[in-house]
Amino acid sequence: QELPPICSDVRQKQRLSIDTLPPEVKAPFPSDPIIPLRTKTTKEFQEDTERAVQSGDWREVREFYLTTFDSFIEINAAFKVGHVNKHNRQSPQDIQKSVLKGIINSLLREWKGTSTYVIYAHLLRQIAVLSEADHHFLVHWLKKLSARRFRQLVERLLQFISTRLFPAEPDELPPLTKCSWWIPSATKVLSLFNAANSVSSPPIMPFTDFYNITLEHIDFMEEYRTWQNYGNSNRFSFCQFPFILSTVVKKAIIQKDSEQQMISQARQSLVSKVSRRQRVDMNLLFLNIKVRRAQLLSDSLDELTRKRCDLKKKLRVTFVGEAGLDMGGLTKEWFLLLVRQIFHTDYGMFTYMKDSRCHWFSSWKCDNYSEFQLVGTLMGLAVYNSIALDIHFPLYCYRKLLTPPTVPCDQNALVGMAAATLDDLQQIMPELAHGLGELLSYEGNVEEDFYLTFQVVQEEMGAIKSYNLKPGGDKIPVTKQNRKEYVQLYIDFLLNKSIYKQFAAFYHGFHSVCASDALMLLRPEEVEMLVCGSPELDMSALQKAAQYEGYGKTDSTVRCFWDVVLAFPLELQKKLLHFATGSDRVPVGGMADLNFKISKIDVPIDWLPISHTCFNQICLPPYRTRKELKQKLTIAISNAEGFGLE
């Protein structure tokens, strides 16, 4: 019996199915499918297989499989009978691998209708349920793919997930109830690509390219609750695979989680008052911070220490002697001034590293590390209240902050002791890291030429102090044999042990506010983005997202405003952003998330522009010339501290 020929209506069916796909998943392919190249009958194929078994020469069978499994038309024709698949299972492993390779390549090259999605989904399920050892093998195989091919496969998987979540037509794919395993399988396979990317040095593609922005439109809080309740069990949640969730989604989860905690905290305070029949003061719903500008740091420390039970309430700041009401602007101002004072070199808590342009913890010893706890609390409050801070910590600091991501139950457990490498030291002390790198690669006599021991010296508050990296370290010379141990111990001393108490206080301060399971979803880079926002100012993006009240975007005053702002140097652009919003940082969602508004104010044109930082709004008098607007705007944004009411 001969294998059935391709029927005449196959091409028409394929055209109909491809037309139902959304534009983004339509891959280019020839308009007319190629007629099958295979002409063998089943009997001829069986004879070829029997000869191969006897002679050990599988070339003809291999050629048949390569031709057949290189396109769906060939596969469909061949698999209408089961002999090909049966004989494939009897063939040597390299023949079976050729078949699998052909199937994968044709699946990834051609997307032609519902049947293709179904086959692709089944393939993904088979990969997803492989053993851990096979997954390990696959990860190392994926590492060897070209960057272009690797990216193609990742994008195809992301596209498959998006199409399954939001098909272009309701009946384009099988009902979700019948194929609920599609998305979990695809996500698990995608996690193998993410693992391969993570263990590659440098990564094959940026980790942000694994984000699926489609997930910004699903009920991600339901995903989060499922993950909280079931963890990494068989109940699937995207939160089990946080690499696929964008920073926008993670920020939203943290904010919603924070809001729930804020509401819960406020409700408890309210119920407590009512149950004791006390008069309810609406202030109990807020974390009220009252400070004097002249004693900003000490007042803030006292307030946060006294009110540490209220840290999860909505923050509200009052500056003594000023009539400004805090609708968000005063809070931003408080953060800005406090951070500026804490990180000033004269204050001594942090050392500014000129070569790496970042701050690091001072190693001086003291009896009270409460001010480091204050900085951690500030950072936690900033994330909790969606305020971006102008803080310059190295990425390694955020890795320490996530070690572990939730506070251990055991109060004596070590925190912040993240494994440190020479690359981590390079982020903070590049010159020292370079010197240690030279020590590791030195070909000469290490002991005689370097004359080092397992003892290091540090300057603390003007005094030189020595520390042994291991017991009796001052008597142990560094040699070619033990230099790796010396370098590792030295790095660990600098980045962990010498600042342990400072960082532990900082860690507990941060987590006293941000005690959320959502932190387990974050990479260090994403924590940095949540704390600091983005330093990249794109004023053109701000212009596109701007809203207007009293003006139109084509009015001469508005056109002059943007001409001036786009021509400003970076420093003045930062001052403008600070003037209008209370912060010179861009939030996670970009300029569009600022809801920046330009309003018309009917006052004489000799007035300066006015801002409402609570609402990210700038009010412009109807200036007539570009020169006039530039002069008034520059004066306003350069003198923008302090709040008052008229």
Catalytic residues: 614
List the one residue out of 354, 406, 389, 396 whose CA is nearest residue 499.
396
The pair of structure tokens assigned to 300 is: 């803030």
Cβ neighbours for 528, distance < 8 A, ≥ 6 positions apart = 393, 395, 398
Residue whose pair of structure tokens reads 């392919």 in the numeric block:
29
**Strand 286-291 to 314-319 pairing:** parallel
Q: Where are the alpha helices (DSSP H) in 587-639?
A: 626-637
Output the six-digit token pair for 72: 């769906």
Q: Which residue has the tokens 């010296």?
A: 457
Q: What are phi and psi of 351, to 5 degrees?
A: -105, 130
Residue 296 Cα to chain centre, angstroms: 33
Contact indicator for 429, 418 with CB cutoff of 8 Å: no
The answer to whether 620 touches 591, Cβ cutoff 8 Å, is no
Q: Answer whether 3's CB lies under 8 Å from 81's CB.
A: yes
**Number of other residues whose CB lies within 10 A of the CB of residue 560:** 20
What 3-state DSSP class applies to 477? strand
Looking at the DSSP bridge assignments, the partners of residue 27 are none
* Beta partners for residue 348, in sequence order: none
| End-to-end CA, the chain | 96
The DSSP-derived string for 265-320 is HHHHHHHHHHHTTPPP-GGGGEEEEEE-GGGHHHHHHHHHHHTGGGTTSEEEEEET
